[in-house]
Structures are given as C-alpha cells and as structure tokens.
C-alpha cells in the first residue's frame, strides 16, 4: 500500500501527519485545561478528518 505512493502523495501524508501531531498536542492541552468544552470535540474531529484523508490517499491508485 504505502510502497506504491508517489512523491506528491508522500508529501501530502507527511503534512497531514504533522497536522495530526499538532492537533493531538492541542487536544492534550485542552483536556488538561478545558476552557472551552467544544475545543475537545473540534480537535478530535480534526484528527479524525486528517486520518481519513491519509487513508484515502493510501487507498487511491498511484
């Protein structure tokens, strides 16, 4: 699966993984200090969306 990705797809996945890491850091901070309860839901949804985009790229033909 991942071995058949072209350079553009690999760059897209790398960028999405970076976004996931940043969102996870924000999510961790939001959970430890829940100023706005909507932040936790929003950040979790962002992470899920990024992961879905990665899955879509990996399952698409190169």
DSSP 6-32: -HHHHHHHHHHHHHHHHHHHHHHHHHH
pLDDT at 62: 60
pLDDT at 3: 59
pLDDT category of residue 23 using cuts at 50, 70 and 90: very high
Say what the pTM is.
Answer: 0.84
With a pLDDT cut of 90, the percent of the chain lying above it is: 77
- Using a 10 angstrom Cβ sphere, with 0-12 exposed, 13-18 middle and 19 or more buried, the burial of residue 50 is buried
């Amino acid at each position: 699966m991942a071995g058949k990705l072209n350079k553009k797809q690999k760059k897209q996945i790398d960028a999405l993984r970076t976004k996931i890491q940043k969102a996870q850091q924000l999510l961790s901070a939001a959970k430890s200090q829940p100023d706005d309860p909507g932040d936790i839901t929003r950040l979790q949804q962002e992470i899920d969306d990024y992961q879905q985009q990665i899955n879509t790229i990996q399952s698409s033909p190169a």
